[in-house]
Structure 1
Amino acid sequence: MKRRDFIILGTAGTVLAGQPVRADPLQYSDGLLQSHLAAGDTVFLDFKASWCSTCAAQDRVLTKLKAGNADYEAHITFIDVDWDAFGQSDLVKRLRIPRRSTLVVLKGDQEYGRIVAQTGTAQIQQLMDGALALAQSS
């Protein structure tokens, strides 16, 4: 990298430092969920499959809502759960997840909301707003 490019990139990073950075959701792995719940985080689980059209529709709504409100990503931990890898897991059994395209909000050892196979913006926003209120209340 040329020195000039490095300085330009560094300056851009400094200018953007005050801007919220859109983070990709975490990818579920054993222990990840438990560590976030133990830390007191509000967690938004998205049980999805790459081939699922309902999951893709939900993802478009989630992306749009997150883009419109930086507080979602600032206060909620988003975790994607790959249905092909974890559809038969203890997590799915314990939470009684009926199918892919299920969205669940958890905090501590409590479930605070769930949507199954719904793609409406209003329903998903209501779940996200509830998660945000829960995250900001503590």
Structure 2
Amino acid sequence: MKRRDFLVAAGATTLIPFAVQAAGVPYTEGLVQERLAAGETVFLDFKASWCTTCRAQERVINSIKADNSAYEDAITFIDVDWDEFGRSQLVNDLNIPRRSTLVVLKGEAELGRIVAGTRPADIQELMDVALNAATA
């Protein structure tokens, strides 16, 4: 094996745990309703792979999760691919204006949302709203 190939492979295996943690559950039709009906607190991340704002939000979310495992333990994070579901019934029902929108739901209620915001304090506050609802 060439040294370069080894270094690339070693680097990739080092990042795999972070990649797994980074992702929420991929959205499929009916998933949100199913999880809400089960009593879960849902954190929706409407994003596109090409969106720089979405990537900035994801970095903040992952950093906050890394600092406190309670978020991952108590909240259901669902990633909604904007390219696939941007015109879906879910987007219409929740009146989602664009990708890079973060929404927290519990039961029949929307507890908060951020549209195109990347400030860590704002995202932390939204995640805290979700955590408080999930652990109440």
- Alignment TM-score, normalising by the size of structure 1: 0.82
* Structure with greater Cα Rg: 1
Percent same amino acid among aligned pairs?
Answer: 64
CA distance in 1, matches of 2:63, 2:22: 13
State how far apart, in whole Å, the 2-side matches of 1:108 and 1:78 are: 15
Structure 1 segments of 4+ aligned residues over 4 angstroms from their partners: none
Q: C-alpha separation between the residues in 2 aligned to 1:110 and 1:66?
A: 23
Q: Distance in 2 between matches of 1:37 and 1:79?
A: 12
Kindly indicate which of the two structures has a greater share of residues assigned to helix.
2
Distance in 1 separating the partners of 2:132 and 2:32 = 20
Unaligned segments of structure 1, at least 5 residues: 1-20
State the AA in 1 paired with 2:45: D
The whole-number CA distance in structure 2 between the counterparts of 1:87 and 1:115 is 17
1:23 and 1:73 in contact (8 A); partners too: no
**Aligned residue type for 1:75:** A
For 1:34 and 1:92, how far apart are their aligned partners in 2? 13
Q: What is aligned with 2:42?
A: 43
State the SS of the aligned residue for 1:46.
Answer: strand
1:73-92 maps to which residues of 2 (within 5 A)? 73-92=72-91
Map Cα deviations across residues 56-89 of structure 1 (whole Å, 9 max, x no partner). Answer: 0000000100000100000000000000000001
| Displacement after TM superposition at 1:24 (Å) | 3.4
Q: Is the 8 A contact 2:43 2:76 kept in 1?
A: yes
- Is the Cα contact below 8 Å between 2:21 and 2:62 reproduced in 1? no
Q: Cα distance, 1:23 vs. partner?
A: 7.1
SS of structure 2 residue aligned to 1:81: strand
Match of residue 123 from structure 1:
122
